[in-house]
Amino acid sequence: MKKRVAPRVSSAVRGHRRIICVTASAALLVPLLIDRSADGTPSDQRLQDDYTAAANEYRVPQSVLMGVSYLQSRWDSHPGSPSVVGGYGPMHLVDARRLQPQQTPQQGAVRPRTGAAGQPASPDASFPADRAGPSADLERAALLTGLPAEQLRNDDAANVRGGAALLAATQRQLGKPLSPDPADWWETVTRFPGAADRTSAVTYANDVFDVIRRGAHRTTDAGQHVSLAANPRVRPHSLLAEGTPRPEEVDCPPELSCSWLSAPYVEIDDDQYGNHQLADRPRDQRIDYIVIHDTEAPLASMLQTVQDPEEASWHYSIRSRDGHITQHVRTKDAAWHSGSQFVNARSIGIEHEGFLRQPDAWYTETMYRASARLVKYLAKKYGVPLDRQHVFGHDNVPAPTEDSIPDMHDDPGPFWDWRHYFDLLGAPLKATAGPDSDVVMILPDYPTHHPLFTGCTKSGVTCAPHGSSAVRLHTDPDDGAPLIQDPGRHPDGEDSTEDVDDLGSRVSAGQTFAVADRTGDWTAIWYQGHKAWFKNPPAHPTAVGARGRMVTPKEGLREVEAFGRALPEADAFPEEGDEQPAESPLPYTLRAGQRYVTQSRVLGSYLEKPSSDNSPSPVVKGQEAYYEIQLGHRLAYVRASDVDVVKSTAAAGPPGDAAGTPLS
């Protein structure tokens, strides 16, 4: 989220720009054309051979070396580019002298506020420094291998050798043999990341051994095909992690390192309270959504922000370097994080330290995994479905009113790996119907899908090629056709652009849409009231067949209004209480014959303003039903009384055909 200094306002609708996926059974990716080096080794298998050679040289089980590397980087190299903690290469060896600046905001991000920030995450006193052991230190790896540090930063083979040398040295320091049995290396693996607490160290090692047990296959960011065969005999360690005792406010799974830093609930004006609302969820209102943000600021700055009663708030922050989680608002209360009071009242907001334009530096595997564990835990506890209409980005939050659309946020952006994230959630995004289904799920091959973006370093300047979850939409089935226009995002009639912040003409992995047409390698979907085309060749698909329910305007209705929130009917509001919010249709309509995928039916509700007696804010509940739909890049709502619900079929009908099987 791009942080903005908030004015003194009376509304609880506050938000700011935020911004951010892996199982060991990740899908095999599309191979590149193979050429061979002088020694006959296929150029896309060199990294695989590097792991073999380093494992043999330092007598480390290759599965342990590759499992650790997978947890460190998913075998990606980001050539010569360090992470925010100065980590390089497939082993993410950390060079403390090359730490990234703590912020490199682009295009309007504000500077961190001065003053003392809360420091919720100190090392675990029950896990002394000598237990933490040496981290993946690049300088130490250079000494052990005899290679220059510069070579370990820029050469994958050297980097892998450095990781193997560190593992072997730690194994010897622990008085353990250089055994070929992976199980004998468990304690050494706990030491590799230099975790500050036992909980994190044990969780890290268990993740490594889960990768070894399941196996993994992947094409890296450098086009290297890497494979780790499954070893079902290897199991995560049974030792329970023992971390620092947690405050009672913390709602977090036991295998994660979590702390508490409270957001204030104080009076800031007469009868106006901030920076969140007291509630009694899920008793007074269901928790339906989990919203993924990124901070667009260093975490230290955000920890100051969340303690300011006139600023926005969110439930959890996740640190980039080690995945440490800090909770700020109880899950029963409503934080001000999404820019929509309606979504705030029904959601949990999670901030991830990072900048959407610098995913390689900030979107670490450790942070992805900590986030997925937290979301999986919360989703199970509160009954949130693990799909992209219930777990979504800040950039998918529906604008509550037409005039708020241009101010809605765009994090975690097109480089957040939704496919990997849902793998980690245990709910993989995949085809659920044949290729001719009348519903498709957007699902590009993230590492090899490189749509053009601009604005990562400077407005109008092309971004470096990068894997992406986003798929671009056109007005016709042609690469040269104009991009789809968004009248809400660009109310002055400006064209959609390829800027990294412009959501007007793109969709994202995991989102599902009704098919409007097909021709050749192109597929059209219904998108904000229009046909929107994207390239979807069978050999390299960017979408797969899916099953689901769709809404379509009732017979006789030429078009149906779409809304950014589901409000109660007028007579549901008490005579005494908040002024009834005005209904504000969005500038998009569903037209006769069009269809939009729905994954939930909701009743209108409205969370009134905070009270002065520290009691939960009243919830106005209506009886009018709405369907939540995937209208465009963002979600929207339509009245149930305006639409029929139909099931998808295995084979698509003629373009624009609204026939289907009605649901009861």
CA–CA separation, 136 and 419 (whole Å): 28
Q: What angle do CA 418, 419, 420 make, to 5 degrees?
A: 90
Bridge pairing between strands 258-260 and 325-327:
parallel
pLDDT of 354-393, one tens digit each? 999 999 999 999 999 999 999 999 999 999 999 999 999 9
Q: Which residues pair with 348 in a beta bridge?
A: 290
Length of the chain: 664
pTM of the model: 0.88
3-state helix, strand and coil shares in percent for the chain, rounded to the nearest 5 = 25, 20, 55
- Domain locations in the chain? 43-228, 430-664
- Choose between 130 and 50: higher pLDDT: 50
pLDDT value at 115 more than 80: no
pLDDT of 582-610, one tens digit each? 889 999 999 999 999 999 999 999 999 87
CA–CA separation, 149 and 147 (whole Å): 6
pLDDT value at 19 more than 80: no
pLDDT of 195-254, one tens digit each? 888 888 999 999 999 999 999 999 998 889 999 999 999 987 765 545 557 888 999 999
Identify the DSSP state of 610: P
Give percent of the chain above pLDDT 90.
74
Tokens 């005494």: give the residue.
Answer: 576
Name which of 646, 654, 624 is nearest 555 in CA terms: 646
Instruction: Answer for the pair 346, 383: CB distance below 8 angstroms, yes or no.
Output: no
Instruction: Answer for the pair 633, 527: CB distance below 8 angstroms, yes or no.
Output: no
Task: With cut-offs at 50, 70 and 90, classify the pLDDT of residue 129.
Answer: very low
pLDDT value at 112 more than 90: no
Residue 196's pLDDT is what?
82
Residue 659's pLDDT is what?
35
DSSP run (H or E) holding 525: strand 522-527
Q: Which stretches does DSSP call E strand in 46-100?
A: 87-88, 93-94
565 CB contacts (<8 Å, ≥6 apart)? 340, 341, 342, 343, 398, 400, 637
pLDDT value at 633 more than 60: yes
CA–CA separation, 397 and 345 (whole Å): 13
End-to-end CA distance of the chain: 40
Instruction: Answer for the pair 452, 502: CB distance below 8 angstroms, yes or no.
Output: no
CA–CA separation, 505 and 534 (whole Å): 10
Tokens 């390698």: give the residue.
Answer: 521
Bridge pairing between strands 522-527 and 512-519:
antiparallel
pLDDT of 478-488, one tens digit each? 999 999 999 99
Residue 42's pLDDT is what?
79
Give the torsion sign (CA, 302, 305, 311, 315): positive
Topology of the domain covering 43-228? Lysozyme (1.10.530)
- Tokens standing for 209? 């051994």
